[in-house]
A and B are shown apart, each in its own frame.
Chain A
Amino acid sequence: MEYVMLRRFLINIIFFVCLVYPGQAQDTKTPHPDVTVRTRAANSKTRLDIRIKGGKRYVILAKRDSNVLSSDDAQRVKVVGYIKDTAVILQDTYRSKPNGTYYCQAGEEQFLRIISVKGARPVETLRLKTNSCYDSVELDMEEGDEGIEWIPESSTMRVHLIGVGVPGRSEPGRLRTIRIDSEGRPIEQ
């Protein structure tokens, strides 16, 4: 009887701890006045828990790619922009998948995403690789805010990519200007 009670007590403690500390969640690196994002790895994807000042909350499972270890959480997340009740634009960054050698051991894999929050459920409307040791993708960190300019007045971002790309896997870098429409969808300019 005592054992059963002790077990139940321990289970309750674990449950409570999980509620308070959901996994190894990451907070946004760059504080945003209206948006906070926490992440954790979930079945080779990233669970993005997006909280908007005022109480709205959106949770979405975001895909990565094979250059990220399936169990790895994001090392950092940055909120690039927010269009009220329409879209959250964010970047999540991971270490490059380790392969037991020095190759890409210090590398990173990074995704720029538009999460539309217009509908009943959040939907990812853009996933763009913005840094990759394996795929030769990189941002021109001298432009904008670490490679991305966010222009809230026109709901537009300018993405300064300079990587050379890998044939068959990634494109050579170029300036991409992307406007986000009223449904939270990207429109390449």
Chain B
Amino acid sequence: MKLIKPTSGQKFIINPTPEWPEIVFETDAKGDHTWNWSISWGKYRMAGRVITKENRWDARPAVTNYGGLLTVQVQAGKEPALTTRVKILGENPTIDEAKIYLALTLRKQGLENIVKGLDKIITHESKFKNFTVIKEPIKTFDHGYGLCQLTTPPPTYGQVWNWRLNIEAGIKLYLQKRAEAVAYLGKNGRAYTDEQLMYEIVNRYNGGVYHIWDSKAGKWERPSKILCDTQTGNIGWNMTDKENAGKTEAELHKRDSQSYKHPPGKDAHWRYYGVCYAEAILD
């Protein structure tokens, strides 16, 4: 038995829609064929078995939403099994396509007035790209995957490779952060504006809280002690730190910016602030 197609190592591309390509496997044998397939990428793996009456099988339905290395072993009659491997890679949507999908999904779910600023978060995180130049999903050194850079809960295989599913998971994560922000700002029936809520949500995506309750004024306030480095995504200084007090942003940036490439150490006088993250995105 010989495999007529595909050729070993052939690349198949998920288009920007995203639509999975036809991936037809065909032999020169006759009769029933058993196709044992597995697809893997990093820690992700899926596998299955399909039996056909003919010498041809299209893997597309089996691997839709997945990508990486597809391995297929085919058996027909008493012929020795053949194994071949192909690659499934992906192309990015345009920023407009991804933004339109986000907006339509929010509208369909009745969330267009609830989920605000998510497009700005995604722009900040990934510039709406799901794939790198080698057409594999964006993956940061530990756990951030795809266009929404999903981390926790760990995204599914499909959420990593299908950018639409990635956006849908990003919406769920946003709603989680929104629920936190509402619980925080609405404590004891306190009033807050839509704008304050958005800053609080975006802040929580990065960590910590944005607003502090001013009990004398009876309203939520931005913490006055934090000065942000506006040339960065979320770095700032606690101005009550005596090493920072009285200095300007420019002076502090000049002093500290060389050390930004690593997380702040014990002796650092700067740190990451959700407050600065929210302002970098929303201001």
Interface string of B139-167 (1 = CB under 8 A from A): 01111100001011100000000000000
- Chain A residues positioned under 8 Å from B183 (CB to CB): 162-164, 173
Q: Write out the residue numbers on chain B whose beta carbons fall within 8 Å of the beta carbon of A166.
A: 153, 176
Q: B229-257: which have CB < 8 Å to A?
A: 233-234
Q: With the chains together, A104 CA to B152 CA distance in Å? A: 10
Does A124 have its Cβ within 8 Å of any Cβ on chain B?
A: no
Query: Judging by beta carbons under 8 Å apart, are A99 and B151 in contact?
Result: yes
Given contacts A98-B263, A100-B144, A142-B213, whether A106 and B207 have CB atoms under 8 Å apart is yes
Q: Which residues of A contact B143 (CB under 8 A)?
A: 99-100
List B residues 254-283 near A (Cβ within 8 Å).
Answer: 263, 266, 271-274, 277
Q: Is the CB of B142 within 8 A of A106?
A: no
**B residues in contact with A108, CB < 8 Å:** 207-208
Q: Report the minimum CB–CB distance from A53 to chain B (whole Å).
A: 26
Contact B272 A105 (CB under 8 A): yes
Whether B184 pairs with A162 at a CB distance below 8 angstroms is: yes
- Residue of B142, B213, B277 near A102 (CB, 8 A) is B277
CA of A78 to CA of B215 in the docked complex: distance in angstroms?
Answer: 26
CB distance from B94 to the nearest CB of A (A): 22
Q: Once bound together, how far apart are the Cα atoms of A164 and B186, in whole Å?
A: 13
Q: Which of A104, A140, A162 has the most B CB atoms < 10 Å from its CB?
A: A104
Task: Scan A86-128; emit 1 where CB is below 8 A from any B CB, else 0.
Answer: 0000000001111111111111100000000000000000000
Indicate whether A133 reaches chain B with its CB closer than 8 angstroms. Answer: yes
- Chain A 133-162 near chain B by CB (<8 Å), digits 1 or 0: 111101010100000000000000000001
A12 at the interface (CB under 8 A from B): no
Please give the number of chain B residues whose Cβ is less than 8 angstroms from any Cβ of chain A in the complex. 33
In contact, A103 and B205 (Cβ under 8 angstroms): yes
The residue in B124, B153, B271, B273 that gathers the most chain A C-beta atoms within 10 A of its C-beta is B153
A163 touches B180 (CB 8 A): yes
Residues of A within 8 A of B209 (CB): 138
How many A residues are at the interface, by size bracket? 20 to 34
By the criterion CB–CB under 8 Å, are A107 and B208 in contact? yes
Q: Interface 1/0s, chain B 204-216, versus A by CB < 8 A?
A: 1111110001000
For B206, the chain A residues whose CB sits under 8 A away are 102-107
- Find B176's partner among A106, A140, A164 (CB 8 Å cutoff): A164
Would B277 and A99 count as touching, CB distance under 8 A?
no
Q: Is B125 at the interface (CB under 8 A from chain A)?
A: yes
- The answer to whether A100 and B125 touch across the interface, beta carbons within 8 angstroms, is no
Contact A105/B234 with A100-B141, A136-B176, A138-B180 known, Cβ cut-off 8 Å: yes
Is A67 positioned at the interface, with any CB of B under 8 Å from its CB?
yes
The answer to whether A164 and B179 have CB atoms under 8 Å apart is: yes
Which of B151, B213, B263, B273 is in CB contact (< 8 Å) with A103? Answer: B151
Tell me the A residues contacting B by CB distance below 8 Å.
24, 67, 95-108, 133-136, 138, 140, 142, 162-164, 166, 169, 173
Question: What would 11 more interface pairs be, CB under 8 Å, given A98-B142, A104-B151, A142-B213?
Answer: A67-B152, A95-B263, A99-B142, A100-B141, A101-B144, A101-B151, A103-B149, A107-B206, A107-B207, A138-B184, A169-B153
